[in-house]
Structure 1
Amino acid sequence: MDVLTAYNGALLRVGLYLLIFWPTVGYYVYQDCKRRDRSSPRIRGIVYGFFGLLGLVAYISRKSRSKPADR
């Protein structure tokens, strides 16, 4: 069995998804947390970045529910 076609290519799709969205979302969250002086911006970037687009939606929704003084 070839690694690229295992599980009908699911491993490849998940790998590409993580390769593209993890660094992109993670960097956005990291920079925003650093700018807003939040605790642990690096860890937040890693965790939210791991979940990709779902993590980005969760982060933005949490950010929009924060106090107006934080914006």
Structure 2
Amino acid sequence: MDLLTAYNGALLRIGLYLLIFWPTVGYYVYQDTKNRGRSSPHLRGAVYGFFGILGLVAYISRRTGDDASDS
């Protein structure tokens, strides 16, 4: 059994997902956190980026909630 095609290519799909969305979402979160002056932008970018699209949705929903409470 080939490692890349095991479990109908699940490992390959997960790897491609992380390869595409981790840097994209992580960079967006890093830049936004840095521009807003929040603490530890590198860590936030890495953690939210790891979760990809779900991380982006969670970050944006938390950010929107923080903006509403600041007013």
Q: TM-score, length-normalised on structure 2?
A: 0.93
Q: Distance in 2 between matches of 1:4 and 1:10?
A: 8
Structure having the larger proportion of residues in helix: 2
Count how many residue pairs are aligned between Structure 1 and Structure 2: 71
Runs of 4 or more above 2 Å deviation: 67-70
Deviates more, 1:61-70 or 1:7-16: 61-70
The gaps in structure 1 that reach 5 residues or longer are none
The gaps in structure 2 that reach 5 residues or longer are none
AA paired with 1:28? Y
Q: What is the alpha-carbon root mean square deviation over aligned residues?
A: 1.7
State the percentage of identical aligned residues: 77
Q: TM-score, length-normalised on structure 1?
A: 0.93
* 1:51-62 correspondence to structure 2 within 5 Å: 51-62=51-62
